[in-house]
Structure 1
Amino acid sequence: MGTRYLYIARHGAADAFGQLTPAGRSQAGLLGERLAAMPLDAIWHSPLPRAAATAAELARRLPAVPVAAAHELIDHVPYVPDAAERPPVWAGFFDGFDEAEAAEGHQLARALVARFAKPADATTHEVLITHAYQVAWLVCHALDAPPARWLGLNSANTGLTVIEYRHGQPAAIVMFNDLSHLPADLRWTGFPDGARP
């Protein structure tokens, strides 16, 4: 029985129209260089343009690795917490989410986990280029944390998270939001302004 290694990253920095910025292209290229030594089997990406363009930049550094869209990686709110679970600072964020939208997001989150968050029959190494909420959801799931805990996790653009799935063992978070492939001026995009180490 094999181990599934997921190398999960948020897309590169994007503009207000969802297109990669020059910084985002640089971030994606540097992530591709970092992953070039890994025995990768596939690069999966969200169908949204910022994720697809990030995957294309990776593919330029990883020309032998197949690249394909995976609908489960699309940007969505994976879980809308009820009022008792919701931190006050998030209250306004969920205004306007109706039951149908919440159910659709949760259905996509279940599909994401069902497709990727499990061991494989043979050892595989897969890259997932997705969005901050999906990275948070996969980490939350791997830790078996309460579903509302995805709210406390955020990822920088091209921050690398690695999760291992082995048969008969809990999922292992190898790293979360690692930015060591980026120079200081390209780190921490995708977060509010503030002091960063």
Structure 2
Amino acid sequence: MATRHLYLARHGAADAFGELTDVGRRQAGLLGERLAGLPVDAVWHSPLPRASASAHEIARRLPGVPVAEAAELVDHVPYVPSGPDLPAAWAGFFDGFDDAERVPGERLAADLVDRFARTAEAETHEVLVTHAFQVAWLLRHALDAPPARWLGLNAGNAALTVIEYRDGLPPSVVLFNDMGHLPADLRWTGFPGVVRP
């Protein structure tokens, strides 16, 4: 039975303009070193510069592995909850979202799932370098959780999430937000200043 192995990663730390920082390059390089022992077939990345640069930094540790852009991995809000599905704490985040933003976001989220969250014809190992919301959306899908449950599933910069897809079986979540390849000072970059594990 062929298995599709997806190695999901949020891009490395970026500056206010969305460009990868030196810290982000180091994070991505360490993730590449972690993945170097795997039979990676492809590295896919979001069109945004911070994800593209992270993917190329990862791929420097994966000689001969092709790197390509996948439009479905772009940063977007995959689902806007409403009514009882909208946690009060998130109401301000979605204030002002209208159908002009909601509909394309939901379409992109469906395209993301259709392209990557399924089995493949042969055994494959693919790295997807994307954004926190897309990692959360694919994880939510793998767990068959309600659409609003993507909220609060935060991914650290260059953290690793692994999902496996096999015919006839539900997806298997192997890892979520694993940062074991990063030294303590490179973990949780981009999150508010709170106590961190």
Which amino acid letter does the alignment assign opposite residue 71 of structure 2?
Answer: H
Moved more, 130-139 or 88-97: 88-97
Q: How much identity, in percent, do the aligned residues show?
A: 71
**TM score, norm. by length of structure 2:** 0.99
Contact kept? 1:44, 1:126, Cα under 8 Å: yes
2:185 match: 185
Name 2:30's counterpart in structure 1.
30
Separation of aligned partners in 1, 2:45 and 2:107: 18
Whether the 8 Å contact between 1:155 and 1:190 is mirrored in structure 2 is no
Aligned residues: 197
The alpha-carbon deviation at position 2 of structure 1 amounts to: 1.1
Amino acid paired to 2:87: P
Give the match for residue 21 of structure 1.
21
**1:100 counterpart residue number:** 100
Partner of 1:145: 145
- 1:83 Cα deviation after fit: 2.5
Partner of 1:41: 41
Which segment is superposed worse, 92-101 or 43-52?
Answer: 92-101
Deviations 1:8-64 (A, max 9, x none): 000000000001111100000000000000000000000000000001101111121
Partner in structure 2 of residue 84 of structure 1 = 84
Question: Equivalent residue of 2:28, what SS?
Answer: helix
Alignment partner of 1:169 is 2:181 = no
What do you get for the CA RMSD once the two structures are aligned? Answer: 0.7
Amino acid at match of 2:127: V
Q: 2:56 maps to which residue?
A: 56
- Aligned mates of 1:78, 1:104 — CA distance in 2: 9
Runs of 4+ residues over 3 Å off in structure 1: none
1:195 corresponds in structure 2 to 195
